[in-house]
Amino acid sequence: MQAFRIHTGKAAPLDRANVDTDQIIPKQFLKRIERSGYGQFLFYDWRYSADGKPEPFFVLNQPRYAGASILITGRNFGCGSSREHAPWALLDYGFRAIIAPSFADIFSTNCTKNGVLPVVLPENDVAELLRRAESTDNYLLAVDLEKKQVSDEAGFLAHFDMDDFKRKFLLEGLDDIGLTLQHQKSITAYEQRRRAFLTPPAV
Amino acid sequence: MFEKIWEDHVVCQPAGEPALLYVDLHLVHEVTSPQAFEGLRLASRRVRRPDLTFATVDHNVPTVAAERKVIRDPIAAQQVEALRRNCRDFGVPLFDIDSAEQGIVHVIGPELGLTQPGTIMVCGDSHTSTHGAFGALAFGIGTSEVEHVLATQCLRQQCPKTLQILVRGVLPNGVTAKDLALGIIGRIGTDGATGHVVEYAGEAVRALSMEGRMTLCNMSIEAGARAGMVAPDETTLAYLRGRRFSPQGSAWEEAAAYWESLPTDPDAQFDRRVEIDAATLAPAVTWGTSPGMVIPVTERVPDPQRFTSEAERNAALRALQYMGLRSGTPVQEIAVNRVFIGSCTNARLEDLRAAARVAKGHKVSPKVMAMVVPGSQAVKRAAEQEKLDQIFRAAGFEWREAGCSMCLGMNPDTLQPLERCASTSNRNFEGRQGARGRTHLVSPAMAAAAAIAGHFVDIRNWEYRD
Ligand code: SF4
């Protein structure tokens, strides 16, 4: 997995709460069997009208936010379906960090497994960042996971919390399965003491 | 109960890391698994416990019998084919499209007796919370975690917080588990249980059948919960006895004794508690694009200005615009042109019985296209044995093969733009049932009644013809 230490990039504001994963990547694009190539379908129903033309008012279609790599958005981002295609689409589009007052649990876990950093900041800080990203051209933010802080060049500075293990995992870009397989012995020992009735009869 | 199950499954707790938990049962479907199997191949890893892993196809299978042999959508066909190949290569049992056991993954787990109290279960699907109805700890996971469980049979989890939702009293006539679930979400919000495992308790929950408990736990994720649970009791044991994968003989005695030891001690501590008075609930209808935007069928579409925060006002305005509704319109004047009775929330036998009872002797409105999609082939067979299919067909409903169908419209069953649907599924998100389609979530009886009347009606005033 791609590690995340410090990332500086253009920020785009998506001022909506409860953005669900059906919006992030609609179901008609879930039938592929690869992990890549989903960026073109990100927020598809918001980016394109029914006849397939770009919606000029949608934030990601505005030329000033082209190349954005940090998304600022409302609470409960990523709710709904567990589809990991959502962080795959965000990453493939170019987003490395998402800043919101809160995230849905499964989505947040899925992000950290793919090197996308979910940053939780208080509601008023997020509101301030939304305002700045809307009113400043080429608004750049620096997201620093080592120091657990978000800053801009105009004096904004906020600290965020992240669980130590997830942080280490992202900083070092660890291999999740490899890490668990170091505990082979414990797993085998557990299997030996497991109740027999828990293993279903063979099909 | 939650703590007992958690502690029973800790494989190890490395310092500074989340616990490593053992997974008793892993259910797999075609949409969230191909990349996981591919990951195993690339790393030359095998499936550690194919005997604890079961797969089926549900999300994108057609529900018209003639279309199931050869799936016309080439990308969907490729995904189903990929699952077949993966199950073959890795030795995982598959309930394929033509098998008698095929169905929505959360419907077949319980009916086969694979879902059992006290276990940890996972599936690459957020509605895995359904299985918590049996007192299992059941988590929805992403594809990376699916790969992790396939390779290690373990899940690394931060210990969640606990929330008890205590439902006092008796559900009034016409108020179902679905209305209870929607009522709870309306009250605590779609992120009201984020980070928590919910345990549902109280007289009204005890009185629910296993089907009702599954409906309730199913929608825990719509309140943001990691999982939802109901403690096992006589109802649970009666449901499980004699099912295909339930323990038999002396193993049953041993299992039953263990299951009976699971319920929460009366003085157990929860991080949070919420109390609901069942008597205050009514048949529910969602009006917006989030399951928390829900009101009783007797009310009117709300005025966005009534909401306190700016974010809520904006969300309500957007939702009304998307749904093509005006504030102040009585819910019972909202006309529908599609009705969907199905999904892992409400497509078990009891749900179909409730809908059939409403439909019996009536006709679907000429302005409505209505369909019934059983949750599994087993549900379909059982319903046909009771002749429910004949009641539905006589009333003008389509009677289909099992699958997720129009719950998310990955197969050919979708809403056309601007069509309005009364649906027994779980998500009314924008475009969920088809691009620009409009979804109202309701119970099976309410959906059947809407199909016949052509608009929402209060099921408590229904004229049953049985
Ligand atoms: S019925 Fe709907 S919610 Fe349930 S598993 Fe299928 S798609 Fe998901």
pLDDT of residue B72: 86
Q: Which of B52, B154, B435 lies nearest to residue A180, judging by beta carbons?
A: B154
Tokens representing B343 are 């999904």
**Average pLDDT of B357-369?**
96
Q: Which residues of A touch B290 (CB under 8 A)?
A: 18, 20
Quote the CA–CA distance of A75 and A100 in Å, as a whole number. 6
Contacts of B382 (CB under 8 A, 6+ apart): B349
Quote the CA–CA distance of A92 and A86 in Å, as a whole number. 10
ipTM, 2 dp:
0.87
Instruction: Decide: B447 and B423 in contact? Cβ < 8 Å.
Output: yes
Split at pLDDT 50, 70, 90, the class of B76 is confident
Split at pLDDT 50, 70, 90, the class of B400 is very high
Q: What residues form DSSP beta bridges with A79?
A: A20
> Which residue of A lies nearest to B426 if distances are taken between CA atoms?
A80
Instruction: Decide: B136 and B115 in contact? Cβ < 8 Å.
Output: yes
pLDDT per position as a tens digit, A28-50: 888 888 888 899 999 999 999 88
Quote the CA–CA distance of B138 and B132 in Å, as a whole number. 6
Q: Among the listed ranges B6-15, B305-314, B425-434, which one has the minimum average pLDDT value?
A: B305-314
Mean pLDDT of chain B: 94
Q: Which residues of A touch B14 (CB under 8 A)?
A: 183
Write the single-letter amino acid at B212.
Answer: G
A200–B114 C-beta distance less than 8 A: yes
Q: Strand (E) positions, A59-148?
A: 70-73, 97-100, 117-120, 140-144
Residue B236 clears pLDDT 90, i.e. is over it: yes
pLDDT of residue B264: 76
> Which residue of B lies nearest to A199 if distances are taken between CA atoms?
B52
- Ligand 1 neighbourhood includes B225 CB (under 6 angstroms): no
| Closest residue CA from atom 6 of ligand 1 | B404
| Closest residue CA from atom 2 of ligand 1 | B407
Quote the CA–CA distance of B139 and B316 in Å, as a whole number. 31
Quote the CA–CA distance of A139 and A152 in Å, as a whole number. 8
Q: Among the listed ranges A160-169, B178-187, B324-333, which one has the minimum average pLDDT value?
A: A160-169
pLDDT of residue A50: 82
**Average pLDDT of A75-93?**
94
Helix (H, G, I), strand (E, B) or coil at B238: helix
Rg (CA), chain A: 19
pLDDT of residue B310: 85
**Average pLDDT of A169-197?**
92
Quote the CA–CA distance of A25 and B243 in Å, as a whole number. 38
Mean pLDDT of chain A: 93
pLDDT of residue B288: 96
Residue B267 clears pLDDT 80, i.e. is over it: no
Nearest chain B Cα distance for residue A6, angstroms: 23
B119–A198 C-beta distance less than 8 A: yes
**Average pLDDT of B362-377?**
96
Residue A174 clears pLDDT 90, i.e. is over it: no
pLDDT of residue B367: 95
Cα pseudo-dihedral B392, B394, B398, B401, rounded to 10: 60
Quote the CA–CA distance of B61 and B48 in Å, as a whole number. 28
Nearest by Cα to B147 from B42, B19, B56, B228:
B42
**Average pLDDT of B113-129?**
96
**Strand pairing of B227-229 and B196-201?**
parallel
pLDDT per position as a tens digit, B149-198: 999 999 999 899 999 999 999 999 999 999 999 999 999 999 989 999 99
DSSP letters along B353-406, please?
Answer: HHHHHHHTT----TT-EEEE--SBHHHHHHHHHTTHHHHHHHHT-EE--SS-GG
pLDDT per position as a tens digit, B277-300: 999 999 999 999 999 999 999 999
Instruction: Decide: B431 and A45 in contact? Cβ < 8 Å.
Output: yes
pLDDT of residue B332: 97
Split at pLDDT 50, 70, 90, the class of B302 is very high
pLDDT of residue B283: 97
CB atoms within 10 A of CB A36: 10
Residue B268 clears pLDDT 90, i.e. is over it: no
Q: Supply angle C-alpha B329, B332, B334, rounded to 5.
A: 60
